[in-house]
Amino acid sequence: MGVRAIMNEAPVACPICVAPTVPAGEKKGKFIETEFRFRHCPVCHYSFVENPVENYAAIYDEKYYRGMGPDPMLDYINELDCPASSVRTYEWRGILEAVNTLHALRAETQVLDFGCGNGGLVRHICENSPCRALGFEEGWIADYARSKGIQILKRADLEALKGTFDDHHGH
pLDDT at 162: 83
pLDDT digits (tens, 9 = 90+) for 133-157: 999 998 899 999 999 999 999 999 9
**What is 62-160's CATH number?**
3.40.50.150
Domain ranges of the chain: 3-53, 62-160
pLDDT digits (tens, 9 = 90+) for 83-98: 888 888 999 999 999 9
Amino acid at 160: A
pTM: 0.72
Query: Half-sphere exposure of 169 toward its Cβ, with a 13 Å CA cutoff?
Result: 2
Residue 34 has pLDDT above 80, yes or no: yes
